[in-house]
Amino acid sequence: MNVRRVTTENPEAEQWRLLAQYSYEPNIRRYLAARGHGSPQQTDIEYIAGSLRQSEAYYRAAQSSPLDIAPLLAYYGAVNLLSAVAAMLSGSRPAINSHGMELVKPHAPGRIADIEIKPATGNGGLPVLSKIFDPGPPLPGGVSWTMEEILGSLPDLKPEFVGCFPSARSLTLPIEAFTSQGIVVERILVADFGQGANTLATLQAVPGFTSAYLAPQSAREFIILRRKLGASAIGTYSISGRKHLQVGVMKGKKLVAPSQEVLILMGLYALGFLSRYYSEQWNPFVQRDDSGERLVIQKFLVVALRYLPNLAVNAILGERVQFVYEVERDPSSIVVANEEELKRKIREEATAVFQDMRQR
Amino acid sequence: MTILQAAYAACKAVIASAGREPLRAIIYELNHSLSSPPPGYVDRSMLGYLARQQRSQFLGYLLVDQERARLASAPMPALIPPLSDEQRNLLLAAHSQMVALNHRALEPLLNKFPHAAEATDPYGAKLPLTAALDHRSPPFAVEAFESVAVAFQSHPGLRLAITSPPELVNTITAENLLEGVENLEREVRSDGPGKTPRELGDFLHSEPTTSGRRFLVRFLASLMSLRASLRVLDQMLYQAVQTDKPPVLDQNNIADLHHLGSSVTGEGVRLLFQPDLTTFALEPGDIVLLKAIPNMFKLEGLVLSASVSSRFGGDGDATTTLTGRIVSDILDPYARFAERL
């Protein structure tokens, strides 16, 4: 996916400005026509415009609401946003008849990380939207996911997640790319695999890893990865554009690593319905959590509110949009030499020195 | 059956031969430090190392053993433990069978121009072996070697050499032929795989096709092509003694690949790969099998390595860069240069 850099001082406002274009009928028609959906139903156009407008309203409400109700508002915003984009991509309103997942009754009091969500199959929101926003295999129905697995799979939650749940399995591996011998090489800090983790087994659990990379090599504190030639790239990206590899989780007999859109949707549903229907667990957590877990949940909401609209923009444009704040400045008079130029300079200097020595 | 197919069949026959295992064991022992050397001697693997530098298969071991006294009095003396009689006899028998194969493959040429023997012999420029060849107990399947030798007689270089004007060829001494082939090969290789040196390119374009000089260079090129092809064949058979399959470079270990060009003197590639157990000890002169990279690089086939360099970044991080020449279906690493002259 190409990267488009958009300069802005306020990414949150900018991404909604980009999305708001598609709350106007002519823009929706042009977009659909460009994708080969030349004669859309008027009801579908209204559905797209209305869902986008509602999602923004829910998001704004969630941002200004306390933690008591913010997750539920954010969930409704997310469902509306993803449904609108799904309609834009497919050309018609998605046939959704339920949430497509259910919250397993929690055993209060307990960790939020331990609450479970059971994805369903059929025409619920989760399976229908997963088909559009997740290139991987469908989530097996009826097999539970814990909130810990969801939180541990999101790149932007990595520091808070590791800090709060040090013994939990880390499911996202930050990549550092560099150039060596003329090719791009990637590496992962061994520490990022988690304490005592089997690095090779962890990498084998990244869906598509063996198709995308040569055998990993160990180099002191890093695991070195070289991409296979001609293979499709894998990985997911943080808000800042850092690539991560996502470790899959065995669900039923399938190794699954849902996309960030799907993970955020599941997480918001879990928190939204926990707060709505299980106040006896949610209220003490909101008011009296002293474990630090609340910080992780708050960060999850921040990420959901900031990044899901960004991912929606990416899906609409077919590009990875990165919001940056770059100031304009005069061109520098300092010329940065590349390796070849440096070598040439050194050769010239050395030749001059030798000639000078001969003349003496 | 093409020469390449016959060569593969001969490799299979080597793998199935009863004589293979004892030779494989000897070569393994001479290249690994399996036991402490006798007092005063260097490790036995030194013999293997020096033998591999000869790039002449079984002959390399025999030559290092033969030259032990000279090596012991060299500026950097190395007292190398001698081969046992059994080892020497087995290596000699294997080398003798290779020599016989080479001779049989070139028979039509050598019948017409016997003085071209040294120039076309892959071992012709090596030190002479003082021990007499021993053809009594060939270790590998004789029929398969006969088949590949007969198939080799369809080599276009052979036809080209045989049809060269005798009045020209017979005026050149055996020594001058060898020297001419050596010089031509050095020149062809001077710019590296995939490149044709400018002087040769100019010669191709400017020298009249009927000039005496062109006839001479064409004849020398045909001899060079035959010798290089036989070297590849000998190396394939030698490698078949050690492993069932050639080392493979493909999408599973190649990190970067450059086509170095396709010229009248052949195609070249540069491969950056992560070595594994089958590829970590590759050396110049080894044959590797390059497989196509899906969606990216269609070229595949045997590659004769011209240079190999390894880089160790610390702990287990290692890469190897290999440049090599694609071997054609007539086993020629210089494509069909002679025919184009």
The predicted pLDDT at position A46 comes to 97
The predicted pLDDT at position A263 comes to 98
Q: Which of A183, A218, A220 is the closest to B255 by Cβ?
A: A183
Which burial class, exposed, middle or buried, applies to A40 when counting CB atoms under 10 A from its CB (0-12, 13-18, 19+)? buried
Interface of B with A (CB under 8 A): 251-257, 272, 274, 276, 293-297, 311, 313-319, 321
The predicted pLDDT at position B259 comes to 92
Give the largest Cα separation in chain B, rounded: 65
For residue A321, list its beta bridge partners.
A4
Q: Which two tokens stand for residue A179?
A: 């150039």
Rg (CA), chain B: 21
The predicted pLDDT at position B314 comes to 65
Enumerate the residues of chain B whose CB falls inside 8 A of the CB of residue A219. 313-317
Q: How far is A236 from chain B (nearest CA, A)?
A: 22
Are B324 and B271 in contact by the 8 Å Cβ rule? The answer is yes
B216 Cβ neighbours under 8 A, 6+ residues apart: B168, B172, B180
Q: How far is A188 from chain B (nearest CA, A)?
A: 13
Averaged pLDDT, B25-38: 87
Tens-place pLDDT, residues B252-263: 999 999 999 888
Residue labelled with tokens 């709060």: A164
B-facing residues of A in 141-200 (CB < 8 A) are: 180-183
A98 by DSSP, 3-state: which?
strand
Residue B274 to residue A217, Cβ atoms within 8 A: yes
Torsion sign, CA atoms B31, B32, B35, B36? positive
Are A75 and A100 in contact by the 8 Å Cβ rule? The answer is no
pLDDT band of residue B177 (cuts 50, 70, 90) is very high
Enumerate the residues of chain B whose CB falls inside 8 A of the CB of residue A220. 314-315
The predicted pLDDT at position B338 comes to 87
The predicted pLDDT at position A105 comes to 87
Q: How far is B275 from chain A (nearest CA, A)?
A: 10
The predicted pLDDT at position A159 comes to 95
The predicted pLDDT at position B83 comes to 94
Residue A224 to residue B311, Cβ atoms within 8 A: no
Residue A230 to residue B314, Cβ atoms within 8 A: no
The predicted pLDDT at position A219 comes to 84
pLDDT band of residue A188 (cuts 50, 70, 90) is very high
Q: How many CB pairs below 8 A link A and B?
A: 56
Torsion of CA A326, A327, A330, A333, to 10 degrees: -50
What is the number of alpha carbons within 13 Å of residue B210 lying toward its C-beta? 0
B296 by DSSP, 3-state: which?
coil
Answer yes or no: is pLDDT of B246 > 90: yes
Interatomic CA distance for residues B224 and B218, integer angstroms: 10
Q: Which two tokens stand for residue B113?
A: 């121009």
Answer yes or no: is pLDDT of A108 > 70: no
Torsion of CA A286, A288, A294, A295, to 10 degrees: 120
Averaged pLDDT, B273-284: 93
B126 Cβ neighbours under 8 A, 6+ residues apart: B54, B56, B59, B63
Averaged pLDDT, B62-89: 90
Averaged pLDDT, A15-35: 97
Tens-place pLDDT, residues B194-220: 998 889 989 988 999 889 899 999 999
Interatomic CA distance for residues B13 and B111, integer angstroms: 28
Are A231 and B252 in contact by the 8 Å Cβ rule? The answer is no
B40 Cβ neighbours under 8 A, 6+ residues apart: B79
Tens-place pLDDT, residues A282-301: 999 999 999 999 999 999 99
pLDDT band of residue A342 (cuts 50, 70, 90) is confident
Interatomic CA distance for residues B51 and B64, integer angstroms: 6
Interatomic CA distance for residues B304 and B307, integer angstroms: 9
The better pLDDT of the pair B74, B250 is held by B250
The answer, for A230 touching chain B at a CB cutoff of 8 Å, is: yes
Pairing of strands A236-237, B287-290: unpaired
The predicted pLDDT at position A246 comes to 97
User: How much of chain A, in percent, has pLDDT values that exceed 90?
Assistant: 84
The answer, for A226 touching chain B at a CB cutoff of 8 Å, is: yes
pLDDT band of residue A354 (cuts 50, 70, 90) is confident
DSSP A337: P
The predicted pLDDT at position A353 comes to 81
Are A74 and A62 in contact by the 8 Å Cβ rule? The answer is yes
Cis peptide before A11 (omega within 30 of 0): no
| Pure H helices in chain A | 11-20, 25-34, 42-63, 70-90, 125-133, 147-152, 158-164, 199-204, 209-212, 260-277, 279-288, 293-317, 339-359
Q: Which two tokens stand for residue A219?
A: 């180099």
Mean pLDDT of chain A: 93
Q: Which of A182, A215, A219 is the closest to B256 by Cβ?
A: A182
The predicted pLDDT at position A45 comes to 96
Pairing of strands A101-103, A116-119: antiparallel
Answer yes or no: is pLDDT of A259 > 70: yes
Enumerate the residues of chain A whose CB falls inside 8 A of the CB of residue B298. none
The answer, for A214 touching chain B at a CB cutoff of 8 Å, is: yes
Answer yes or no: is pLDDT of A322 > 80: yes
Enumerate the residues of chain B whose CB falls inside 8 A of the CB of residue A214. 252-255, 274
Q: Which of A182, A219, A226 is the closest to B316 by Cβ?
A: A219
Are B223 and B264 in contact by the 8 Å Cβ rule? The answer is no
Interatomic CA distance for residues B5 and B11, integer angstroms: 10
Tens-place pLDDT, residues B312-337: 876 567 999 999 999 999 999 998 88
For residue A184, list its beta bridge partners.
A179
Are B20 and B11 in contact by the 8 Å Cβ rule? The answer is no
User: How much of chain B, in percent, has pLDDT values that exceed 70?
Assistant: 99
DSSP A100: S
The predicted pLDDT at position B315 comes to 59
Tens-place pLDDT, residues A215-246: 999 988 999 999 999 999 999 999 999 999 99
Interatomic CA distance for residues B32 and B45, integer angstroms: 5
Probe site for chain A from B250, B276, B280, B317 (most A CB atoms < 10 A): B317
> What's the complex ipTM?
0.84
Are B286 and B305 in contact by the 8 Å Cβ rule? The answer is yes
Are B94 and B129 in contact by the 8 Å Cβ rule? The answer is no
Q: Which of B272, B315, B317 is the closest to A183 by Cβ?
A: B272
Q: How far is B286 from chain A (nearest CA, A)?
A: 23
